[in-house]
Amino acid sequence: MVEKVYNWEDGAVLDEHSKRKHKVLREYLSEYLRVRCQHPNQERFRIAIVDGFCGAARYSCGAAGSPIIILEVLKSAAEELNIARRDQGLRPIQIDALVILNDAIPGVVELCKSNVAPILAEIKDNATNLAVDCQFLSNDFEAAYPSIKQTIQTRGHNSNVLFNLDQCGHSKVQLRTISDILSSYPAPEVILTFAIQALLTFLPKTDKDELSKRLRQFGVQIKTLDDVEECLTNKAWLGAAERTVFDAFRGFGSFTSPFSINNPSGYRYWLLHFAKNFRARQVYNDILHQNSSSQAHFGRPGLNMLSYDPDQEGLLYLFEDDDRKRAIDQLHDDIPRALANFGDAIEMSDFYHGVYNHTPSHSDDIHQAIIDSPELSVVTPNGGPRRVANTIRPGDVLKLTPQRNFFSVLFPK
Ligand SMILES: C[S@@+](CC[C@H](N)C(=O)[O-])C[C@H]1O[C@@H](n2cnc3c(N)ncnc32)[C@H](O)[C@@H]1O
């Protein structure tokens, strides 16, 4: 596949996969800020956002690119959070954001500067409770990374750090850089786009026998690497790709969401989300359900999304209502079994930590399956029972009830 080239000077075309990506970015960032700024006693939140492949910020149709999306979300979050806080009688919260916009092409950065100028002026002149320090850079992302890291450090923004790495193609971000980001900050997150060829860099492409053997395990027949293009619409291929990507990033010790951007005419682009904290993955999963059909997962719906036998099971999961019904059925079985593996009781935060890397599920579905299950109970820190799904909190304890279902005890799967 030829790498897509963006002609920003003459007007870049916004394609369908980028629209889906932008919707996820906008809603995820907005929810991220809501969740991270919700403590009643908090009066300041500092964040660094790096848009490493920022483009010129406006498409030919007039739609906003990622730099404008980031600035618009910061502005509306500062407004909305503070209106809600005022209504609750809370003190305002100030958001201090360092935004670093980088693109390899100097002319693109100049266009970006002029396209973001109105929203930056609007923030400077009219936004209360928001300060944005916007820095522009023009370099290959990998070459720019050390100085980006240095800027984050010297400006004192090195706790909450979010990198949006919307590379064209697949080869412009090194795995070691993602690993470095995830190990350099207390609360790092990365949103990474890549095209399907990236998968081949993780596969033993010089050894075609090994490659075919590996894909055959997932029910994908591939005779030569040239057949990959034909495979793109094959759901089993989607499952194989997802599992391979997940395996490639497993060593990072983070929460990795390995889902492709949904496109039935070809699963060509992946939108990966990396975080160190289960809460980030929980928010991300919930946003994908809000954007149902934007991303696609092929495999099991419950807690063990990648452990399925391609000959027996494995379905497309598009984060839609019907998928959620299947997920709840599966979670009814999976959660008691997962809990039995931990022991018979566990704090909810530890349970989330243990399961979130392996599930596409919405947090509401996990909580509903827990409340519905006769095999499970949830106890508050005061020792009382939880009876309503949306009141479950990370500090609660999840327990196996003494009257467990006979079948699950006698015939564990
Ligand atoms: C997919 S476009 C970015 C779109 C933008 N993030 C958005 O959502 O509106 C990718 C951009 O990366 C730039 N680019 C290509 N190679 C690069 C590299 N090695 N480092 C940084 N930028 C690069 C291109 O000039 C292009 O503008």
Nearest-angstrom CA–CA distance, 244 and 249: 9
Alpha helices in 186-317 (DSSP H): 197-202, 208-216, 228-231, 235-249, 278-290
Ligand 1 pocket residue status of 306, Cβ below 6 Å:
no
Q: Report the number of distinct structural domains present in the chain.
A: 2
| 235 lies in some domain | yes
Same domain? 103 vs 152: yes
Q: Which numbered atom of ligand 1 lies nearest the CA of 8?
A: 27
Same domain? 293 vs 330: no
Domain of residue 42 covers 16-299
Same domain? 62 vs 182: yes
In the predicted structure, residue 371 carries a pLDDT above the cut 60? yes
| 307 lies in some domain | no
Q: Which two tokens stand for residue 387?
A: 């009876």
| 118 lies in some domain | yes
Other CB atoms within a 10 A radius of the CB of residue 268 amount to 17
Nearest-angstrom CA–CA distance, 382 and 146: 48
Q: Which numbered atom of ligand 1 lies nearest the CA of 21?
A: 8
Nearest-angstrom CA–CA distance, 307 and 238: 14
pLDDT tens for 49-94 read 999 999 999 999 999 999 999 999 999 999 999 999 999 999 999 9
Protein residue with least CA distance to atom 3, ligand 1: 55
Span 102-106, average pLDDT: 97
User: What are the backbone dihedrals phi and psi of residue 181, each rounded to the nearest 5 degrees, phi first?
Assistant: -60, -45
User: What separation in Å is there between the alpha carbon of 218 and the centre of ligand 1?
Assistant: 33
Ligand 1 pocket residue status of 105, Cβ below 6 Å:
yes
Q: What percentage of the chain carries pLDDT values higher than 70?
A: 84
Q: Which numbered atom of ligand 1 lies nearest the CA of 18?
A: 8
In the predicted structure, residue 236 carries a pLDDT above the cut 90? no
Same domain? 388 vs 289: no
Protein residue with least CA distance to atom 17, ligand 1: 104
pLDDT bin (cut points 50, 70, 90) of residue 148 is very high
| 295 lies in some domain | yes
CB 370 within 8 A of CB 378: yes
- What CATH number does residue 89 fall under? 3.40.50.150
- What CATH number does residue 358 fall under? 1.10.10
pLDDT bin (cut points 50, 70, 90) of residue 219 is low
**3-state DSSP percent of the chain in helix, strand and coil, to 5:** 45, 20, 35
Query: Which among 266, 299, 332 is the end of a domain?
Result: 299
pLDDT tens for 150-191 read 999 999 998 999 999 999 777 789 888 999 999 999 999 999
Ligand 1 pocket residue status of 67, Cβ below 6 Å:
no
Least confident residue range of 27-41, 301-315, 344-358, 365-379: 301-315
Same domain? 78 vs 222: yes
| 8 lies in some domain | no
Span 304-323, average pLDDT: 80
Beta-carbon contacts of residue 120 (< 8 Å; ≥ 6 apart) = 71, 132, 134
Same domain? 257 vs 345: no
Phi/psi class of residue 129: alpha, beta or left (left: φ > 0; alpha: ψ in -120 to 50)?
A: left
In the predicted structure, residue 217 carries a pLDDT above the cut 80? no
| 55 lies in some domain | yes
| 309 lies in some domain | no
User: What separation in Å is there between the alpha carbon of 18 and the centre of ligand 1?
Assistant: 12
CB 12 within 8 A of CB 56: yes
pTM score: 0.90
Q: Which two tokens stand for residue 199?
A: 């998968």
| 242 lies in some domain | yes
Query: Which among 267, 299, 331 is the end of a domain?
Result: 299
Same domain? 325 vs 250: no
Question: Which amino acid type is present at position 33?
Answer: L
Q: How far is CA 282 from the centre of its chain?
A: 9
pLDDT tens for 15-59 read 888 998 999 999 999 999 999 999 999 999 999 999 999 999 999
User: What separation in Å is there between the alpha carbon of 111 and the centre of ligand 1?
Assistant: 13
CB 214 within 8 A of CB 204: yes
pLDDT bin (cut points 50, 70, 90) of residue 402 is confident
Beta-carbon contacts of residue 97 (< 8 Å; ≥ 6 apart) = 46, 47, 48, 49, 74, 130, 131, 132, 133
Average pLDDT of every residue of the chain = 87
Q: Pick from 94, 90, 87, 86: which is nearest to 33 by CA?
A: 94
- The DSSP code sequence of 376-388 is EEEE-TTSPBP-S
207-218: b (≥16 Cβ within 10 Å) or e: eeeebbebbeeb
Same domain? 229 vs 124: yes
Pairing of strands 295-299, 315-317: antiparallel
Same domain? 339 vs 394: yes
Query: Which among 269, 299, 329 is the end of a domain?
Result: 299
Q: Please, what sign has the CA dihedral across residues 349, 355, 358, 361?
A: negative
